[in-house]
Structure 1
Amino acid sequence: MQDDDNSVFLNEMRGVKRIHTDRADTGKQRDDRQQIASRRQHAAILPATVKVDGLSDQFVIDVAAEDALYWARDGVQEAQMRKLKAGQISFEGSIDLHGMTVEKARQYLWEFFDEAARLEVRCVRVTHGKAARKDGRRPLIKSHVNTWLRQHQQVLGFTSCAPKHGGTGAVYVLLRRQMMDGRDE
């Protein structure tokens, strides 16, 4: 009986080529592991002296996704900050930094503040998101925005938004107005 089974099997397998690999071809192109490792390494390397228009990353204040943000420059009235926190100062512009890289967010934020200064805007909203990261670390853009706003000379203060405007995923930012030439006040 054993010989019969073997001969039937061998007869059925005639012309079949042996597979020399234990991996299935899924049709998906494989990523080059060396190339991925190289990209990750280059993305992680940022010179410690990199500054874009004064916004530094040498020290970043880590904040949690649900942390409420609040900061005021010396001399800013507490009553003004209470109004800002309550959403009683209407924002005249808004920027959304969701899904951006840190570098791109920094560039967009700086350009946004330049435009706000040119238009003499008093209050803006910056949406940074909460970004619950898969690796369990703190939100990247939120932490950087929290640090950058403290460094920017035009920023007088900021506070997390009311829930209807983004809650702890956004901040109201009180800006210093630049007095333009030829303006009577």
Structure 2
Amino acid sequence: MTQDSNDADDLELFRQATQGARPISHDRADTGKPRSDRAQLHARRQRATQTQNQLRVDGLSDQFVIDVLPEEELAWAANGVQEGQLRKLKSGQIAFDGSIDLHGMNVDKARELLWEFIAEATRIEVRCVRVTHGKAQRKDGRTPILKSHVNTWLRQHDSVLAFTSCLPRHGGTGSVYVLLRRNMLEGRDD
């Protein structure tokens, strides 16, 4: 048997096997996923690009801000935090595992980012973080805005156990070490 004879036999077998079959009208496979509603998708995209001008209630109040001086050292501890823990924090003996820099931000943006940063650090069980707020003396002679707000906000946050100004190599009085509460994750031994 020759090659041409084999090809002819194969072609005849194929025709017999596909007899009565109709060609499909489209060339897309059905993946089993529901089709997306284009109008709904467009509306979701529009909502995602719009700015949210609504008041965000996050528990951080600006009603009473504790004014602090540019070079003033900050230190605070919640009830129950041992003096030894605060000393270790102040001397940099508790390593920080995350850092955020709020320099140049307005109060609203700094507040939002600080809230998200602490929430994420708490979620992944970070023990200590550094928050850089700056300490620039304002031109009108008043106290630094972000430093004063961060000092107030950290005292209000449920996840914050303590904070102190950093060592000079980590930002000095322009930054704070923040000791966070940890909720032990399931399955952790420590």
* TM-score, normalised relative to structure 1: 0.71
Cα shift readout 1:42-94 (whole Å, capped 9, x = no counterpart): xxxxxxxx663100000000000000000000110100100000001000000
Contact 1:69 1:171 in 2 (8 A): yes
Shift of 1:181: 3.3
Q: SS of the residue aligned with 1:108?
A: helix
In 1, the alpha carbon distance for the partners of 2:108 and 2:183 equals 26
Q: SS of the residue aligned with 1:130?
A: coil
In 2, the alpha carbon distance for the partners of 1:67 and 1:51 equals 30
In 2, the alpha carbon distance for the partners of 1:131 and 1:100 equals 13
Residue 64 (structure 1) aligned with residue 69 (structure 2): yes
Structure 2 residue identity aligned to 1:134: K
Shift of 1:184: 4.1
Contact 1:52 1:107 in 2 (8 A): no
Equivalent position of 1:111 in the other structure: 116
- Uncovered stretches (5+) of structure 1, i.e. residues with no partner: 1-49
Equivalent position of 2:36 in the other structure: none
In 2, the alpha carbon distance for the partners of 1:181 and 1:87 equals 29
Equivalent position of 1:38 in the other structure: none
Runs of 4+ with deviation above 4 angstroms? none
- Uncovered stretches (5+) of structure 2, i.e. residues with no partner: 1-54
Shift of 1:178: 1.5
Equivalent positions of 1:19-168 (< 5 A) are 52-168=57-173
Rg larger in structure:
2
Equivalent position of 2:183 in the other structure: 178
Equivalent position of 1:21 in the other structure: none
- Taking only aligned residues, the RMSD between alpha carbons, in angstroms, comes to 1.2
Shift of 1:180: 2.1
In 2, the alpha carbon distance for the partners of 1:68 and 1:57 equals 21
Question: Percent sequence identity over matched residues?
Answer: 74
Instruction: Give the total of aligned pairs.
Output: 136
Contact 1:130 1:142 in 2 (8 A): yes
Equivalent position of 1:30 in the other structure: none
Q: SS of the residue aligned with 1:158?
A: strand
Cα shift readout 1:89-123 (whole Å, capped 9, x = no counterpart): 00000000000000000000000011101110000
Shift of 1:131: 1.6
Contact 1:51 1:57 in 2 (8 A): no
Q: SS of the residue aligned with 1:164?
A: helix
